[in-house]
Amino acid sequence: MSEQLGTVVSTMEGPSPSKISFVVNNGKVHKGMFVEIEYSEGVMVLLVEDVIKTNRYFERPDSVKVIGDDLEKNFPCAEWEFLVANAKPLGVFVKDFIQRTTFPPSPGARVFCADNERIRKFLSIQVDGLNLGKLQFHDVELSLNLSKLLQKHLAIIATSGAGKSYCVSVLLEELLLRKKEQGQIGVVVFDTHGEYTCFGDPLRNKNESIDLIDFSSRTRIIDGSKIRIALSKVSVHMLSSMVELTPNQKRALGRILNKLKEEMRAGAGPFDLIDVKNEVNSIDNEKTQSSLFGVISDLEEINIFGKIDEPSIIDFVKPGRLVVIDLNLIISEKKKQVLVAYLSDKLFKERRSFGKKIPPFALFVEEAHNFIPEGTASEHAVARSYLRTIAREGRKFGAALVVISQRPKRLDTTTLANCNTNIILRVTNPYDLDHIAQSCEGLDKQSINSISSLRVGEALIVGEAVGAPTFFKVRKRTSQASRHESTLEDSAKEFIANEDKTKEDVNSFL
Ligand SMILES: Nc1ncnc2c1ncn2[C@@H]1O[C@H](COP(=O)(O)OP(=O)(O)OP(=O)(O)O)[C@@H](O)[C@H]1O
Ligand SMILES: [Mg+2]
């Protein structure tokens, strides 16, 4: 065991199996640290939830006011300053097994910094797991089991700029670097702002990137604006989310699609909007005809339907490979919704089918509150039901969902409740904090209070993947940074430099 940190004290509430306070008599104890106590039952591991400094000389505001600074000159104040830590017992190691705490240690028991090996066991840390960073206050890498972290879905939540995408990049690196024998999964990212396209670029500046790894050969970037989806596989419900349809138009369009689908099954081949237009031409009722032409021209404008899926994303989902669907160039929100809905549904169906053409996969959804919103009418949130299905049923079929959001309050509660692990970086909005408190099981009040003071890159992980809420520092990335990551200042300088260069070129040409 390491050096003694403190001694258990007797308080109104403890020591009890759920709360233990100790006075610190050596070294520093921080909130979020793991400590341990050896006693009759075994070795108890505890999480420090709060640290409070006390000093008898400063207990009475009236005497502090009257005596003021003279207090420290005339009395041994420093000797009476104590640091008291409140800790929550997490479990007791009996030999190598972890048991629930049912019996407290005695007042006077000695408290030590937790042994690294015991922390690893307690948090289910695995040597060859997914290494997300390092625990705060302990020399322990947070290397987590793939299934525990992802199988029952993961939510990554933080205010804008707190480091969500950075943390996701680290997780992507870990997934891509896994060896075959460790079990590789396919990875698909819906990249709303083109933040992960850098995975597909060969390293930009080889001299500057000695520590960086080139992921381009393992990555496929797909420009979302060029994706075409097979009209034959789209439901009228999906179409009605893109253009407004009256009940009559819905019925008429449904009839046409069914007819064309039947003909396709009979051997006529796939169809597109031109074929639908031809069908509309043969409708007798002029009014219905002209209103459907209007609908078709609106659908043509969205420019997403073709005869077949192009490219066929399913073909790119391979073990240990990353597919980034770059939605950055798509302006229409509806188009983004339909793409996410259609592709999520397709991926999940492929996984659920008996033939299973694709490997187990993890689907990352950036800006998830836009695709899985809480409360929005379903015609404006067409992707929600498909992503919800993955959140509810995915774990049985090897389809893991990772939702990333800066507005958890606006994120669908059902989906969030199905994310059994949460990585929370800094969140300051009180409504979001409340929502996190309600939706994250196992998150105590003390940890919630710490979330708003986390620094960029510091995170709290809670849930299935770890035995207790744990603070960690996200490790340094090994993939090159996204071009979007430059500061406002750097972007301004780059813009001016480019402008100067253009002027110079023009002058030298003249
Ligand atoms: N762990 C980290 N170590 C070092 N720098 C980091 C870390 N996390 C984030 N940063 C830096 O902080 C900035 C913001 O990070 P990031 O883009 O990941 O935030 P975000 O939460 O995804 O924001 P947004 O919601 O706007 O997309 C970036 O410049 C990034 O390089
Ligand atoms: Mg981001």
Cβ atoms 337, 241 nearer than 8 A:
yes
Minimum CA distance residue for ligand 1 atom 11 = 163
Mean pLDDT along residues 477-500: 79
Whether residue 194 has its Cβ less than 6 Å from ligand 1:
no
The ligand 1 atom at the shortest distance from the C-alpha of residue 487 is 29
- pLDDT confidence of residue 208: 62
Residue 485 domain flag? no
Cis peptide before 15 (omega within 30 of 0): yes
Beta strands in 227-317 (DSSP E): 229-230, 305-306
Statement to judge: residues 58 and 165 lie in one domain: no
Statement to judge: residues 242 and 209 lie in one domain: no
**Which stretch of 208-222, 293-307, 422-436, 474-488 has the lowest confidence by average pLDDT?**
474-488
Task: Read off the pLDDT of residues 336-387 as tens digits, 9 standing for 90 and up.
Answer: 988 999 999 999 999 988 767 899 999 999 999 999 998 877 767 888 989 9
Dihedral, CA atoms, 373, 171, 34, 408, nearest 10 degrees?
A: -10
- pLDDT confidence of residue 510: 74
Mean pLDDT along residues 245-270: 89
- pLDDT confidence of residue 509: 76
Cβ atoms 421, 149 nearer than 8 A:
yes
Mean pLDDT along residues 157-178: 95
CA of 170 relative to ligand 2 center, distance in Å: 13
Residue 92 domain flag? yes
Mean pLDDT along residues 159-180: 95
Higher per-residue pLDDT: 504 or 51: 51
Mean pLDDT along residues 229-237: 86
Statement to judge: residues 328 and 445 lie in one domain: yes
Residue 502 domain flag? no
Statement to judge: residues 54 and 96 lie in one domain: yes
Residue 250 burial (CB count, 10 A): 15
For residue 475, give the ligand nearest its CA.
Answer: 1
Average pLDDT, the chain: 89
367: region left, alpha or beta (phi > 0 left; psi from -120 to 50 alpha): left
Residue 499 domain flag? no
Query: Quick one: what percent of the chain has pLDDT higher than 70?
Result: 97
pLDDT tier at 14, thresholds 50, 70, 90: confident
- pLDDT confidence of residue 130: 96
Minimum CA distance residue for ligand 1 atom 14 = 161
Statement to judge: residues 419 and 365 lie in one domain: yes
Whether residue 160 has its Cβ less than 6 Å from ligand 1:
yes
Statement to judge: residues 221 and 251 lie in one domain: no
Mean pLDDT along residues 273-284: 88
Residue 233 tokens read as 């596989």
- pLDDT confidence of residue 488: 77
Minimum CA distance residue for ligand 1 atom 9 = 163
**Does 426 score more than 90 pLDDT?**
yes
Higher per-residue pLDDT: 210 or 47: 47
Statement to judge: residues 281 and 330 lie in one domain: no
CA of 391 relative to ligand 1 center, distance in Å: 26
Higher per-residue pLDDT: 93 or 210: 93
167-178 exposure pattern, b = at least 16 Cβ within 10 A, e = fewer: bbbbbbbbbbbb
Statement to judge: residues 91 and 113 lie in one domain: yes
Residue 243 domain flag? yes
Which residues, other chains included, contact 25 with Cβ-Cβ below 8 Å and sequence gap of 6+? 4, 5, 6, 7
- pLDDT confidence of residue 485: 65
* DSSP assignment string, 413-444: HHHHHH--EEEE-----HHHHHHHHHHSTT--
pLDDT tier at 436, thresholds 50, 70, 90: confident
CA of 164 relative to ligand 2 center, distance in Å: 5
Residue 15 tokens read as 């020591």
Whether residue 369 has its Cβ less than 6 Å from ligand 1:
no
pTM for this predicted structure: 0.88
The domain total for the chain is 3
Mean pLDDT along residues 476-499: 80
Residue 486 domain flag? no
Residue for token pair 């990249």 = 191
3 state DSSP class of 162: coil
**Which stretch of 96-105, 187-196, 206-215, 445-454 has the lowest confidence by average pLDDT?**
206-215
- pLDDT confidence of residue 249: 87
* Boundary (domain end) residue, out of 261, 277, 307: 307
* Boundary (domain end) residue, out of 91, 122, 153: 122
Question: Which residue range(s) make up the domain with 282?
Answer: 229-307
Statement to judge: residues 97 and 64 lie in one domain: yes
- pLDDT confidence of residue 501: 81
Dihedral, CA atoms, 269, 358, 391, 119, nearest 10 degrees?
A: -170
The ligand 1 atom at the shortest distance from the C-alpha of residue 162 is 21
Minimum CA distance residue for ligand 1 atom 26 = 160
- pLDDT confidence of residue 67: 82
Mean pLDDT along residues 143-159: 95
Whether residue 161 has its Cβ less than 6 Å from ligand 1:
yes
Mode of pairing for the β-strands spanning 361-365 and 399-405: parallel
- pLDDT confidence of residue 204: 74
- pLDDT confidence of residue 61: 87
- pLDDT confidence of residue 1: 59
Enumerate the β-bridge partners of residue 39: 42
pLDDT tier at 486, thresholds 50, 70, 90: low
- pLDDT confidence of residue 23: 96
Residue 498 domain flag? no
Statement to judge: residues 237 and 206 lie in one domain: no
Cα→Cα distances 165→196, 222, 290, 367, 396, Å: 8, 19, 47, 10, 27
**Does 484 score more than 80 pLDDT?**
no
* Boundary (domain end) residue, out of 307, 334, 358: 307
Statement to judge: residues 18 and 164 lie in one domain: no
Whether residue 394 has its Cβ less than 6 Å from ligand 1:
no
**Does 286 score more than 80 pLDDT?**
yes
Statement to judge: residues 353 and 455 lie in one domain: yes
Higher per-residue pLDDT: 153 or 64: 153
**Does 207 score more than 70 pLDDT?**
no
**Which stretch of 55-64, 309-318, 460-469 has the lowest confidence by average pLDDT?**
55-64
Out of 132, 156, 165, mutate this one to test ligand 1's pocket (max ligand atoms within 8 Å of CB): namely 165
Distance separating alpha carbons of residues 365 and 367, to the nearest angstrom: 7
Q: Which amino acid is at 281?
A: N
Residue 242 tokens read as 């893109």
Minimum CA distance residue for ligand 1 atom 25 = 160
- pLDDT confidence of residue 206: 65
Higher per-residue pLDDT: 209 or 458: 458
The ligand 1 atom at the shortest distance from the C-alpha of residue 457 is 1
